Amino acid sequence: MRQVAGKSKADRYQVYVDGKWVDGASQKTFPVYDPSTEEVIAEVPDCDAKDVDRAVTAASAAFETGGWPQTTAQERGRILFRLAEKVRQNAAMLAELESRNCGKPIVEAEFDIADVATCFEYYGGLATKVMGHVNPVPDNALSLSLREPMGVAGQIIPWNYPLLMAAWKLAPALAAGCTCVLKPAEQTPLTALQLANWFEEVGLSHGVVNVITGFGESAGAPLVRHPKVNKIAFTGSAAVGKEIQKAAAETLKRVSLELGGKSPNIFFADADFEAAIDGALFGVFINQGEVCSAGSRILVEKKIYKRFLDGMTEKAKKIKLGPPLERETKMGPLVSKEQYERVRSYQELGKKEAKLAAGGGRAAKFKNGYYVEPTIFYDVENSARIAREEIFGPVAAVIPFENEADAIRIANDTPYGLAAAVWSRDIFKALRAVKAIRAGIVWVNHMQPTYVEAPWGGYKQSGFGRELGPWGIEEYLETKQVHINLNEQPIGWY
Ligand code: NAI
Ligand code: MG
């Protein structure tokens, strides 16, 4: 990213549009913070509709006349491999920048960055495996279906896995032959800008990928409305997902939405007890609970309820909170003041709605930074707001259940359907649960492992469309029917 000497200590960034580093049209910038110190670490352009139009015009030209869709799949694959290599070579720097900007523990950021490289590699390989079909039509004809790139993709991503979400969006789009305008979350734009530094060097020509920074209303919404954008891929809140679907209807864009969840993590009495306790904590507290698939509803069979709750509570109290860049840290601060206040308000609400076993407030030992305690509420009614609304922070709602049918009923009693997990040593019971749960992802005796090879996305109000695996590239492909008449005679109708 080209940095211009700023007035303050903070780095001043530009945005990447049409292969050039430029200021925003309005020249305005906004601050980006380190959530562990609350200090400003960067200033980035506050892009508006004008910048969006510039970026989309560039992406559209790259698609229509710039030759990107005509590059061979092999060439696009090689570009993605080179980008993966750049990420691997610079992994330490990227992980540090990510950790500093969004507050996640450095060790987790290192895993994320490795996954970023793997995602580019996976789609680099998949680029050459996109195939059409011969359709068996009952005539003397050759009927084909061809797969073609959808066009310009507008990609709007959140702040919890900043560069990984960028990779999940960019990699399949580029493999398919689409061009992109990426808008990172306003809280965490730095690693995506860093990535753009390498676009030209790896062989992405001007306009193929544009990265603009800005807020949802002023930069995200114009991207969704722009007539030259053919597809919107969004990860974020259900509220914004609904707005996007409405706005995209004006120009009938393809839309894929990966929204939040209130995912059940179900523990039967016959589960391996120690593994279960660990799985319950990992499911809801990893990444400070800022995870769309967080196992935020912990359903526990009554037979083990008390012992399970005590075990969880004891371990939760020992989770090491600390500055994100320290390697022993297991939980850093929340991403922003806004998110901190949101989570704090749910902690207070929980105290009215249920009983408190652990945490419940700000982590007092930190003077600055958006630190909250890992929090466990128990005896939570599934109708309580803390059991129904996505909190997106380290707040668990523990809910007792009677038996298998009860567990499934509670698990499915939610407007969401992103993920779920079930813990049991009884394979029949576990598999019955797998089939009965209405969610896009179900883990058995684990929670959260995510692989680029496997589909990711939700049922119900957790959105639609699937990312990752071969499903991910489908979201960027059109299907064209081609009919080739093999009769040399006229149709002979008139
Ligand atoms: P958000 O949904 O407002 O933001 C996500 C992205 O959408 C950002 O890039 C933002 O700039 C953009 N955006 C916002 N409004 C837009 C609009 N009208 N048109 C186009 N783009 C728009 O999420 P926010 O406000 O940061 O977090 C609020 C809650 O959303 C969280 O507490 C959490 O519950 C949920 N969330 C869920 C995520 C997930 O992975 N499913 C990720 C982030 C937030
Ligand atoms: Mg918002």
- Which residue has a Cα nearest atom 26 of ligand 1? 158
Helix (H) or strand (E) holding 474: helix 469-474
- Cα(81) to ligand 1 centroid in Å equals 30
10, 40 Cβ separation under 8 angstroms: yes
* Residue with the two structure tokens 């009677």: 402
Position 1 confidence tier, pLDDT thresholds 50, 70, 90: low
Residue 440 above 70 pLDDT? yes
Q: Tens digit of pLDDT for each residue in 113-129? A: 999 999 999 999 999 99
Name the closest ligand to CA 189. Answer: 1
Domain 264-444 fold is Aldehyde Dehydrogenase; Chain A, domain 2 (3.40.309)
Query: Residue 8 — pLDDT band, cuts 50, 70, 90?
Result: low
User: Of how many residues is the chain composed?
Assistant: 494
Does pLDDT of 6 surpass 60? no
pLDDT tens-digit readout, 380-396 = 999 999 999 999 999 99
Q: What is the pLDDT of residues 19-76, one digit of tens each?
A: 999 999 999 999 999 999 999 999 999 999 999 999 999 999 999 999 999 999 999 9
User: Among the atoms of ligand 1, which is closest to the Cα of residue 291?
Assistant: 40
Convert the pLDDT of each residue in 458-489 to its tens digit: 999 999 999 999 999 999 999 999 999 999 99
pLDDT at 7 over 70: no
Measure the CA–CA gap between 452 and 409, rounded to whole angstroms. Answer: 31
By most ligand atoms within 8 Å of CB, the mutation choice from 44, 240, 296 for ligand 1 is 240
Q: Which ligand is nearest to the CA of 158?
A: 1
Of all protein residues, whose CA lies closest to atom 24 belonging to ligand 1?
A: 237
Contact 100, 92 (CB under 8 A): no
Rounded CA separation 468/457 (Å): 9
Ligand 1 proximal residues by C-beta, below 6 Å = 156-160, 183, 185-186, 215-217, 220-221, 224, 235-237, 240, 243-244, 258-260, 292, 339, 342, 390, 392
Q: Measured between alpha carbons, how far is 104 from 82 in angstroms, rounded to an integer?
A: 27
Percent of the chain with pLDDT over 70: 98
Pocket-testing residue among 237, 286, 372, ligand 1, by greatest number of atoms within 8 A of Cβ: 237
**What is the C-alpha to C-alpha distance for residues 60 and 50, in angstroms, rounded to an integer?**
15
List pLDDT tens digits, range 83-141.
Answer: 999 999 999 999 999 999 999 999 999 999 999 999 999 999 999 999 999 999 999 99
pLDDT, position 10: 80
Q: Active-site residue numbers?
A: 258, 292
pLDDT at 161 over 60: yes
Q: Report if pTM > 0.85.
A: yes
**Exposed / middle / buried, residue 143 (Cβ in 10 Å: 0-12, 13-18, 19+):** middle
The Å distance, Cα 305 to ligand 2 centre, comes to: 36
Cα 239 to averaged position of ligand 1 atoms, centre (Å) = 8
Atom of ligand 1 nearest to the CA of 261: 41
pLDDT higher than threshold 80 for residue 175: yes
According to the model, what pLDDT value does residue 336 have? 98
For residue 92, the CA-to-ligand 2 centroid distance in Å is 30
Q: How far apart are CA 120 and CA 451, in angstroms?
A: 13
The predicted pLDDT at position 111 comes to 98
pLDDT of residue 12: 94
Answer whether residue 5 shows pLDDT above 90.
no
Each residue of 231-283: pLDDT tens digit?
999 999 999 999 999 999 999 999 999 999 999 999 999 999 999 999 999 99
Note the ligand closest to the C-alpha atom of 212.
Answer: 1
| 375 Cα to the center of ligand 2, angstroms | 23
Q: Whose CA is nearest to atom 27 of ligand 1?
A: 237
In the prediction, which pLDDT does 4 show? 56
Tokens 């039509």 correspond to: 137
Structural domain boundaries in the chain: 3-259+462-480, 264-444
Q: Ligand 2: distance of its center to the CA of 191 in Å?
A: 20
CA nearest ligand 1 atom 28, residue: 237
Could you tell me which CATH class the domain 3-259+462-480 is placed in?
alpha beta
Q: Which ligand is nearest to the CA of 339?
A: 1
